[in-house]
Amino acid sequence: MTGFKATYGLVSTKGILEGEPVDEFIIRLGHAAFMCRSADDAAILLGMLGNPRASDSKFKADERTAIGSAQHPRLGVVTNFKATPEVRAAFLKTIDTFHTLGYATTDVEAPLEFPSLDLANIEEDRTTISQVLFKEIQAVLLPTTTDVTPTIEEAVRVADHRPTIGRGRDSGDRAQVSGSYELARPTPEGRLIGCSVCADRASRDGIWNLRFVA
Amino acid sequence: MTYRSLADVSESIRQRHVSPVDLVNECLEKIERLNPTLRAFITVTGDQARQGAERAEAEIAGGKWRGPLHGIPVGIKDFFDTAGIRTTAAFAAFENRVPTKDAEAVRRLREAGAIVIGKTNMHELGMGTTSVISHFGSVHNPWDPGYVAGGSSGGSGAAIAAGLCYAPRSIRTPSARAVCRRLAAV
């Protein structure tokens, strides 16, 4: 599976539960995104959904994401993520796969503790994080999960507790700066169980030719 | 056929080697068989999808191929309004909420010729990462139904992984809990 989350505002979020009361947080942090089966499929969908014809898009034509660049981006591998040994092992195998595909990588520290989730500073925080993280590289690789997929039963138990930010069972589990996750194979078995690629908002020169061999 | 990529199937549709009607029927058959276990969809719009597929097939046969999404069955996360089709966000109080207008993204997909096959299940109001809390039942992971399918777009993920449709739309709305992500996507 391939998931794609576009830069804020690139894919319209107009008409999501239109007319219902909504939290300011969700408006500022919500993305429209899609899932499909390959990078090519994601490119097709972005072509249809992500262009500046969207009436509420603030992006101009010259900022549109170009599709089909085969250029290899400079990749950073996040070293300071938190994850269980299973996830860590699967992630390292993923990085090996990138290497066998001919990508060079650089180790980086991601400002995982930085986001304050303060609405007043959100744009400023994004800019700062972007500047720090994407100084030398164009995209970062990091695991999408901190732990292997829970069973339904376990997840229901956790959901009943409704943890708040920075507290509870998930405390400190921020494996990623942004990106999202949807579906994991229940057991890693040494295979790729999910990898996020977060690209700099300023890097609009293409959807890179990143094809995972999973 | 429903495990093939969108790019691949789309090319076959353009060349008229694959019929959108057959494709939609295959997806609907699979949904009927697997959805009681996976609960990937909240609402399945079978009749409308079949009509849409017939229309697409006629258009393409008439030389009016609209592009790579023409005749492709897609799932829409139940967060996005769909005109005349209930949009619930998996929330009990929205069980009978029927919007009059399509969301912008849905409108764009339809314009491109995509066929909406149903509304995908999700974590209630997008406020969680496991999709186990849904008025319409927990989403189950197609790899092993004992496990969760992630979230909040768990139904979309399950639908794609199980080959129930192409390209479910999903919105990721990091709620207060979204800093606590635990699951995986590919």
In this predicted model, which residue has the larger pLDDT, A144 or A32? A32
Nearest by CB to residue A182, choosing from B144, B157, B176, is B157
- Residue B167 has a pLDDT of 63
Query: Of residues A101 and B184, which shows the higher confidence score?
Result: A101
Catalytic residue among B77, B119, B131, B134: B77
More confident: A61 or B182: A61
Contacts of B122 in chain A (CB under 8 A): none
What pLDDT is stored for residue A213 in this prediction?
Answer: 30
Angle in degrees, 0-180, between the axes of helices A39-49 and B104-111, rounded to the nearest 10: 110
The set of residues, in sequence order, having a beta carbon less than 8 Å from that of A59 and lying 6+ positions away, is A7, A9, A10, A52
CA distances from B90 to A158, A182, A187, B32, B136 (A): 19, 17, 27, 19, 6
Residue A11 or residue B172, greater confidence: A11
Looking at every residue in chain A, the average pLDDT score rounds to 67
- Whether omega before A12 lies within 30 degrees of 0, making that bond cis, reads no
B40 touches chain A (CB under 8 A): no
Q: How far apart are CA A41 and CA A34, in angstroms?
A: 10
Residue B168: per-residue pLDDT: 63
Return the higher-pLDDT residue of B106 and A164: B106
Task: Give the other-Cβ count within 10 Å of A115's Cβ.
Answer: 17
In b/e form, how buried is each residue of A46-80, taking b as 16+ CB within 10 angstroms? bbbbbbeebeebebeeeebbeeeeeeebebbbbee
Q: What is the pLDDT of residue B53?
A: 97
Hey, are the CB atoms on B150 and A183 less than 8 Å from each other? yes
Options 3.90.1300.10, 2.60.120.10, 3.90.79.10, 1.20.1090.10; CATH for B6-180 is 3.90.1300.10
What percent of chain A is modeled with pLDDT above 90? 4
Residue among A3, A13, A115 minimizing CB distance to B185? A3
Q: Which residue has the higher pLDDT, A214 or A158?
A: A158
B179/A44 touch (CB, cutoff 8 Å), yes or no? no
More confident residue, B20 or A62: B20
Sign of CA dihedral B59, B61, B66, B70: positive
Q: Is residue A13 within 8 Å of residue B77, measured between CB atoms?
A: no
pLDDT for res B118: 96
**How confident is the model at residue B2, as a pLDDT?**
65
pLDDT band at A114 (very low <50, low <70, confident <90, very high): low
- Nearest chain B residue to A7 by CA distance is B172
The A105-108 sheet, strands edge to edge: A105-108, A75-78, A139-143, A195-199
Q: Which are the contacts of B68, defined by CB distance < 8 A and separation ≥ 6?
A: A44, A47, A48, B6, B7, B10, B14, B112
State whether B104 and A56 contact (CB < 8 Å). Answer: yes
pLDDT of residue A116: 59
Helix (H, G, I), strand (E, B) or coil at B45: coil
CA A50 to chain B, closest CA, distance in angstroms equals 9
Residue of A1, A15, A159 with shortest CB distance to B186 = A1
In B, residues 141-160, which contact A (CB 8 Å cutoff)?
141, 143-144, 146-151, 153-154, 156-158, 160
Q: Where are the domains of chain B?
A: 6-180
Choose, out of B148, B152, B156, B164, the residue to mutate when testing the contact with A (most A CBs < 10 Å): B148
Averaged pLDDT, A171-192? 33
The parts of chain B modelled with pLDDT lower than 50 are 172-186
